[in-house]
Structure 1
Amino acid sequence: MAGRWLLPLACLAASLLPAAPSTRRGEVCDCNGMSRQCIFDWQLLRETGNGYRCLGCRGNTEGAHCERCKEGFFRRRERECCLPCHCHPWGSLSTQCDNYGRCSCKPGVMGDKCDRCQPGFEPLSEAGCRRSGQSLQCECDPAGSSGNCRSGRCVCKASAAGERCERCKRHFYNLDARNPMGCSPCFCYGHSATCVSADNHSVHNITSTFQQGAEGWRGVHASSSPAQLQWSPRHRDAFIAARRSEPIYFVAPAKFLGNQQLSYSQTLSFDYRLDRGGLQPSPHDVILEGDGLRVTAPFLPQGEVLPCGVSHTYTFRLDEHPSSKWSPRLNHLEFRRLLGNLTALWIRATFGEYSTGYIDNVTLVSAQPIPGVPAPWVERCECPAAYGGQFCERCAPGYRRDSPGQGPFSICVPCGCQGGGICDPDTGECYSGDENVGSSVSCPFGSYHDPRQPHGCRTCPCGHGQGCSVVPGSEEVTCDHCPPGAAGDNCEYCVDGYFGDPVASQPCQLCQCNGNVEPNAVGNCDRRTGECLKCIHNTTGFYCDRCKDGFFGNPLAPDPADKCRACACNSVGAEPLKCRRDGSCICKPGFEGPNCEESECPACYSQVKAQVDLYLQQLAELELLFSGLQAGGGAQSQELERRMQVAEEMLRTILREALSLQASYRSLEGRVTRMNGQGPSSRSRLGEIKATVERLRSLGSQYERQVQETRQLLERARLDLESSGATLRRVVRAFVCDTLLV
């Protein structure tokens, strides 16, 4: 019992602590009563305007000002104590709960603390609760799981999460089966850890196929002296021949260099052939240099021998994961810095004296901000107030770089211009406000010279991240540098391949048709709603994300051959235009087999079914005829007699079909009797059918005898037929259902 009061008492004691006094004018060591110690933090001052960070937060709180509860704790109201969530470690999705102490439960689990199974589920395990009788086989997302299953629970890759490993952990994005980590960490130049996959970039490969020449590739010795590179017009490749033992390298041209951030987590590949055998790779076969950093990798693992005279494709993943073979090991930010300013790409050509190396089909997978096949490895960052841009790569208006030499890696701090003006993001020079900057200073991006105020700059009346200019000879301001997908004088509409409504503050977004539309066609999606209008590959849906009726497969597969294929189901035994996601058919009652081509029913079933269908059709026609005769009570006697003759003949036809059907019933009765355990119930139903047939025969005789008593017969026949028809339908349906079960 004493432990129950321990936390509230500690929280109460912490809340009674006096706030530490401020030592800087205008700033307060504000710890919300949960600490009495602070230190001064310049970074915190730049970000928030208050540089005092609290130490030793009590009452299970944390944060620069002890302003929030720790992970696994909650408070019902502001400034109340932080209480433990006590979420069950097996049944809850996380240790965190809501403001009422309620935890988020895994499937099949219930309770405020997720500590028990829902009715019909058992038992509670690390995988939650499963439906009673359900197997413990894992159904893991192959992109995020390691392929293992322990006690019914998927084993996720390092950066994947979820019961099925179907999502990325916090601060990661782009779940990718080819990524050994599962997801990539958010980059954002180190200014944010929250991001998602961008929707405004498409796949773009930087290539050299040597079809027309050397394409700018050069040869360089390891000592940096130039070497001769030759191009073969016959084989359409480049090669270098060695005369000395010193290694010679193929050196990539400018299109492979510069800012290659969009190639992070993608691949560099090339075809390479060596004319000498028995040679082993070195640790420095591929070299990347950039931003003062250098990494190398071998063609093949240590101990293997390079193939002789055979072209082989070598592929290198561009990230810091150990499986990517780069040495030395860089951290995430270092590898991104290297790619952001790539100054050299060397590929080894020769191995020893008199060796010749050949290279072809060099490909660097990258992305570009235009419509096309989506490139989900490109991130879109959620930036703090001081930063702007898709990657938080620039300072927001009113901020400048604290260390301009670091470029986009530099933190952004307030301009400090008098009167609240904006400033140059690199130098900090003020442009507007109360500063007198003179007329020779140009306005920064996002602002313009107002002709009525020649010594100041005004913010563009455009969306965030757009520039503008003044139309010569007028005061009209037009927007330029529209965001991706937008166009018009004021960036007011979306171009083809994008959708949105910039006028209504709905930015243009890339149409998401999952590669299931013609890439070069116009009007693939609605420019307002984003609905895909011209789905191909047998797909359909708002985003062309599901297969048409009668097709199955994965509409999101990159290879068209793996998308939607036709269901191979028997047209007689299978449900029309339907099959499951794996292509298996959905059989009608009475059919089985992979394609529903086999009938479960006895041989006489089709005969019984045909007779029943005809019988019900004729019964319905007779009912309609009687209804018409009753409605036309004032008809002449000849017309009435003719109609009665038609009715009489129809009734006789029904009786003849009933006798034929009765013969089929006798055959079926003998079959049913021979089946174990089925005889009594089936004979009982057959007896009911026979009794109904006898009633119809009796009704026909009565009809013939009393044909002159028209009105009485019609009324009696109508009543009898209503009763007999209802009974017959009920019995026939029960009989057919029973036949299916047989």
Structure 2
Amino acid sequence: ITRDVSLLSPVCECNGMSRQCVFDWHLLRETGNGFRCVGCQGNTEGARCERCKPGFFRQRGGDCCLPCHCHPRGSLSPQCDSEGRCSCKPGVMGKRCDQCQPGFESLSEVGCRRSGRLLSPRCECDPAGSTQGCVSGHCVCKASTTGERCERCKQNFYNLDARNPAGCSPCFCYGHSAVCVSADNHSIYNITSTFQQGAEGWRGVHASGSPAHFQWSPRHQDAFIAARRSEPIYFVAPAKFLGNQQLSYGQTLSFDYRLDRGGRQPSPHDVVLEGDGLRVTAPFLAQGKVLPCGVSQTYTFRLDEHPSSKWSPRLNHFEYRRLLGNLTALWIRATFGEYSTGYIDNVTLVSAQPMAGVPAPWVEHCECPVGYQGQFCERCAPGYRRDVPGTGPFSVCVLCNCQGGGICDPDTGECYSGDENVGNSFSCPFGFYRDPRQPHDCRACPCSNGQGCTVVPGGEEVICDHCPPGAAGANCEYCADGYFGDPAAARPCQPCQCNGNVEPNAVGNCDRLTGECLKCIYNTAGFYCDRCKDGFFGNPLAPDPADKCRACACNSAGSEPLKCASDGSCICKPGFEGPNCEESECPACYDQVKAQVDLYLQQLAELELLFSDVQAGGGAESQELEGRMQLAEEMLRTILGEALSLQASDRSLESRVARMKGQGSSSQSLLDEIKATVGRLRSLGSQYEGQVRETRKLLERARLDLDHSGAALRWVTIPVSKLPGGSNQFLMLAQEALRLANSHAQAASSVDQGARAAEEDARR
């Protein structure tokens, strides 16, 4: 549907910058007026042509937007303020940031560098509030700082911070006050996702809105999404990152991101924030940059309206605070093109909480005018009500209009007292008390944060003692144990949702701010104790603890570590089979080795019996037998030495394979090295076979000699101590050789599996 302003009703509100608009259902739901302006003139944009395009500014309402003309190298961004003044880089000055400050020279992409001429020694500027330069001994202050040394905030600003490109933050106070200071009752609190225990509520979605396959890696403890077509896919943040995030204003959102495809450029919509009908986006990197391939990098975004924060479109301070106050979506781009895979880890949103700890000076404490109360002037004072209840704390507070001058509900305007209360039986709402001196009058409790109160029986003293359900503290400022939320930030406390998988009477079962379950029992895990721990299977939501999570009964050597299927069946490694992965089949290159070593062990057992007969019969030493046994021992020690060398080679190879898989991609040279090492395994196996065959022949000759001279040996005594190492040591050496053969068989399976997986990763 298209309307023309000149011909139809005034539903097309385009601020005089367009004559046409189209109908938009989404806009209707958001604002109540579904007509979006098209063809905005005068360098304007927006649903009502209400704001200037990026790089333009408006001097007076109703005028066309003028170009900023900010210098591309000297300014922080193409955007300027309402007076056309651009934000300059260090050492740069001028309305358009096109000149170097005195004492600076050579304007470039990083600003102007300090010249060799010395400045006045009296220039001692506060680095938090200055641009690190001065003119004729006078400091050059940031936009919102003042003072000879730029050491304090301007009026209506607070929290001098070196990390703030403007120096100080403007007072917010929901628009009801412009006077504030840094609060002293909040501490730093980070909302994080480290993916150590699972997906933590994150999911994937296509740009079109359809769900995408989200995957979690228990080995690398990160999350990833793989694309099969060109449409972008996004990581979508869970509820703990959404809602009222006012306490994150001016702070940072950061995360580690890795892309497995090279040559991809960022887009303007890599990070998306939505809330209260507003939407801003930002790229991972500046325009013209290329995303690094296969390398994890930390990306950081400052949550404010300053041009250096990279958000588009550029909102004003009040709009950005509105967006954070009701954040409904946080999207981070996962894929860039067909067959690309994006990995994310260590997501952190810096916030604050009303508790003791490391101070969070960016949280404001407002000086409220008449009619308002609360730390942020977010509530109407007793005797006042919200003029527009639907807008919540942003609404203006006006006087109650109750007959008889009584008070009213601050949100709905419903009267509680005065002439409208004509009976003797009535009760005051929560947060108010019945005045014993005026039985038909309700008065607001003299308590903060909406705390309830009672009157001491027989007296007039009022005691604050009734917090909202789940709230605790002297001012009901935090949630009690077993509840989570943030009453100080208008997030009511609600019970922990741990699916009955925590101790009923234990302390600290869930995080009081985020609701994350911290003490899962019955072998459960996850954000809400809604999955089985690694190494367990079953239904974590079953009402009977016996039916919840049970241990996987898998052979530790033959099964994947800490894994079994949902029905308890084991996941076997290559070369193992059976219900519990307890049966193994050695690789083909070790079959002959194991068979020969088994035969060798049998022959050594027979030789041990002959030794016993010789010792029992007595007689003289047999130099020939001793010499042959010396040869047998030397050969067996050679085999054992090579076995130990092979074992070290196996471990080195497994380490290299693990490093390759940890890097996400492998080079052809490492794959060639794997193939060469596996070839060496086969070669050593062949050497084993030959050496064991020679040893078997030697022992066979020794046994025949004993048979032929059986009568003589009855009179010959060869003390075991005279033999090289003793017959017991021969048996121990053979047993050790068999143990190593079995170990190498398992190691070869692991090496082959690792080599195949690494090669598959490299091909991807």
Shorter-chain TM range is: 0.3 to 0.5
- TM-score (norm: length of structure 1): 0.46
Tell me: higher relative CO, structure 1 or 2? Use CA pairs within 8 A at least 6 residues apart.
2
